[in-house]
Structure 1
Amino acid sequence: MNVEKLVEIYYAVNEFLIKFMPYMEKQLLTNSKRKPTRTCSLTLSEIMTVLIAFHVIGFRNFKSYYIHLQQFHSSKFGKLVSYNRFIELIQRTLVPLYCFTQSLSKTKTGCYFMDATAIKVCHVKRAYTHRVFKSIATKGKTSTGWFFGLKLHLIVNDLGEIMNFQLTTGKTNDRLPVENLCKHFMGKMFADKGYISKDLFEKLIEKGAELITQIRKNMKNAFMPLWDKLMLRKRSIIETIIDQLKNISQIEHSRHRSIPNFLVNLIAGITAYALKEKKPSITNIYMTGSQYV
């Protein structure tokens, strides 16, 4: 395990929580009848560090990873609790972890790529007997076929940074979350044919964002600047990022036993990717004035 990376993650998380937790505690509703009597030997910073580091160091199973920490790296933490107790503590990190992910620096380049990917929670044939995600998962269809689960919608820039993300049910139309994803960004949004919509195009134009997609076979060919055509061919960048999230950060697997822990695993995987020094990117892009060339 790269100890330097572990320290780097802890430092970033701890610096954020020092500023964030006082604000969060002010927003929480107090209950004078019940006061906590049990204190945890692990700090919130340490718990979040353990969760994020799992998606960095390459373990495929969280239990094996945690046992490895107990055996070889326990001195780097205050006092590691048992595995079962740690699983109970994971839910505490959901809100702070999400806010930490959103606080990470992102560059508004004006060149963005959008896509959605299926997050399968079980095989589609077992959908009727699945119980953990019964309240939120639905059947959906992608270009690869039917699935049962959720959809992760992403918007990334040409530097490979994840600008925003949103989780929806599996049957949600890819175009539905676009306005919310793009509300803080201006520039060109490149997407596949599934995002073609005149109404959506007009709504985004009003907000300073231009939706650019490929055309379907039955549509008339329209004039498009050369740079836009070149960028449409570079859409593979977001597919590469999704591949890394699924196969390296392991945001998709069917072993979850609770929805909050699933959400923490997903956000921790996205956070681990965001903290990477080397990301997929598109080179030789620059702007003169307000026009890309």
Structure 2
Amino acid sequence: MNVSKLVEIYYAVDEFLIKFMPYMESHLLPTSDRKPTRTCSLILSEIMTILIAFHVIGFRNFKLYYIHLQQFHSNDFCKLVSYSRFISLVQRTVVPFYFFSQSLSKTRTGCYFMDSTAIKVCNIKRAYAHKVFKTIASKGKTTTGWFYGIKLNLIVNDLGEIMNFSLTTGKSNDRWPVENLCKNLIGKVFADKGYLSKELFEKLMGKGIELITQIRKNMKNAFMPIWDRLMLRKRSIIETIIDQLKNISQIEHSRHRSIPNFIVNLIAGITAYSLKEKKPAIDNIYTTGLQ
């Protein structure tokens, strides 16, 4: 593993936490529970750095990755704890991780692409016996078939930057989280036929967002500017991003033993992607007409 990359990730995380943690602690509700007196040898910045780096270097098994750190990078951290202890510490990063991912640079270009993807938590044949995600997972259907799990909803810009994301159950309608995903955005959003809705179109238009989708076969053809047609054909950019999240960042696997750790792994994967210097992007020649 490149040590300079570790340092780069750690610096970005630590600079954020220095400002965020005092703010978060000042807004926590008071509790009468006894506070833990045991201090951890790993600070929060190091825990988050380890989780992000896992999605950067290409290991497919987190335990083997952590053993690799213990053997070859023990000097790069204050004091690495045991694997089981580290897994128990992961849950502490849920809130900081989410806000860190939201704080990363996101350019409001006015040109966005929206889609959802299935996050399978187990083989659908074993859904009846699955317990870990029983409260949030459900059966759903995509163009590739049935699955048991959760849906990840994404909106990205033409530079390949993830603007926002949300999680819904596997059976949820893709249109449900759209208004929340598009919050604080202005411009054109390109999506597939699954997002086609007159009511949703009018709601978004009132907020300065034009939702552009392909029409269904049983609908009359409507006039569409040539630039909109071209950008609809460029929706593959978000499919490329989803592919990288699943196959490079590894946000989808069936070895999770708790919901918080699943959420941390997913956000860490999205964060690792967001920190990449080179992302899938659309040439300026196509986006110029949308300015």
Q: TM-score range by the shorter chain?
A: over 0.9
For the 8 Å contact 1:137–1:149, the answer to whether it is kept is: yes
**Offset of residue 122 of structure 1:** 0.5
User: In structure 2, what is the equivalent of residue 292 of structure 1?
Assistant: 290
Residues 1:205 and 1:58: Cα distance change in structure 2 (over 3 Å): same
The secondary structure found in structure 2 opposite 1:190 is: strand
The secondary structure found in structure 2 opposite 1:188 is: strand
For the 8 Å contact 1:118–1:142, the answer to whether it is kept is: yes
Residues 1:95 and 1:283: Cα distance change in structure 2 (over 3 Å): same
**Offset of residue 275 of structure 1:** 0.1
For the 8 Å contact 1:151–1:169, the answer to whether it is kept is: yes
Residues 1:266 and 1:10: Cα distance change in structure 2 (over 3 Å): same
The secondary structure found in structure 1 opposite 2:168 is: strand
Looking at structure 1, the residues matched to 41 and 146 of structure 2 have their Cα atoms a distance apart, in angstroms, of 45
Looking at structure 1, the residues matched to 176 and 99 of structure 2 have their Cα atoms a distance apart, in angstroms, of 23
1:249 matched to 2:246? The reply is no
User: In structure 2, what is the equivalent of residue 261 of structure 1?
Assistant: 261
The amino acid across from 2:253 in the alignment is: H
For the 8 Å contact 1:285–1:292, the answer to whether it is kept is: no
User: In structure 2, what is the equivalent of residue 104 of structure 1?
Assistant: 104
Looking at structure 2, the residues matched to 147 and 31 of structure 1 have their Cα atoms a distance apart, in angstroms, of 41
User: In structure 1, what is the equivalent of residue 182 of structure 2?
Assistant: 182
**Offset of residue 152 of structure 1:** 0.3
Looking at structure 1, the residues matched to 33 and 42 of structure 2 have their Cα atoms a distance apart, in angstroms, of 25
Give CA-to-partner distance per residue, 1:108-137, whole Å, 9 cap, x none.
000000000000000111111000000110
Residue correspondence of structure 1 range 226-237 to structure 2 within 5 A: 226-237=226-237
Looking at structure 2, the residues matched to 186 and 252 of structure 1 have their Cα atoms a distance apart, in angstroms, of 31
1:88 matched to 2:85? The reply is no
1:79 matched to 2:79? The reply is yes
User: In structure 2, what is the equivalent of residue 276 of structure 1?
Assistant: 276
User: In structure 1, what is the equivalent of residue 157 of structure 2?
Assistant: 157
Residue correspondence of structure 1 range 147-226 to structure 2 within 5 A: 147-226=147-226
Give CA-to-partner distance per residue, 1:141-189, whole Å, 9 cap, x none.
1011110000000000000000000000000100110011002101000
For the 8 Å contact 2:230–2:286, the answer to whether it is kept is: no
The secondary structure found in structure 2 opposite 1:163 is: strand
The amino acid across from 1:240 in the alignment is: T
Residues 1:131 and 1:108: Cα distance change in structure 2 (over 3 Å): same
Residue correspondence of structure 1 range 110-121 to structure 2 within 5 A: 110-121=110-121
For the 8 Å contact 1:13–1:45, the answer to whether it is kept is: yes
**Offset of residue 285 of structure 1:** 4.3
Give CA-to-partner distance per residue, 1:69-94, whole Å, 9 cap, x none.
00000000000000000000000000
What is the aligned-residue identity percentage?
81
Give CA-to-partner distance per residue, 1:25-45, whole Å, 9 cap, x none.
111123345122100000000
The secondary structure found in structure 1 opposite 2:284 is: coil
Looking at structure 2, the residues matched to 98 and 205 of structure 1 have their Cα atoms a distance apart, in angstroms, of 28
State the TM-score, normalizing by the size of structure 2: 0.98
Looking at structure 2, the residues matched to 38 and 279 of structure 1 have their Cα atoms a distance apart, in angstroms, of 42
Residues 1:205 and 1:33: Cα distance change in structure 2 (over 3 Å): closer
Residue correspondence of structure 1 range 21-40 to structure 2 within 5 A: 21-40=21-40
Looking at structure 1, the residues matched to 3 and 286 of structure 2 have their Cα atoms a distance apart, in angstroms, of 37
The amino acid across from 2:61 in the alignment is: N
1:2 matched to 2:10? The reply is no
Residue correspondence of structure 1 range 115-134 to structure 2 within 5 A: 115-134=115-134
The secondary structure found in structure 2 opposite 1:280 is: coil
The amino acid across from 2:176 in the alignment is: L
**Offset of residue 286 of structure 1:** 7.2
**Offset of residue 13 of structure 1:** 0.2
Looking at structure 1, the residues matched to 208 and 32 of structure 2 have their Cα atoms a distance apart, in angstroms, of 48
User: In structure 2, what is the equivalent of residue 238 of structure 1?
Assistant: 238
**Offset of residue 287 of structure 1:** 7.0
Structure 1 regions of 5+ residues with no counterpart?
none
The secondary structure found in structure 2 opposite 1:215 is: coil
Equivalenced residues, count = 291
Looking at structure 1, the residues matched to 56 and 127 of structure 2 have their Cα atoms a distance apart, in angstroms, of 31
Give CA-to-partner distance per residue, 1:230-286, whole Å, 9 cap, x none.
000000000000000000000000000000000000000000000000000001247
List structure 1 segments (4+ residues) > 6 angstroms apart after TM superposition. Answer: none
The secondary structure found in structure 1 opposite 2:163 is: strand
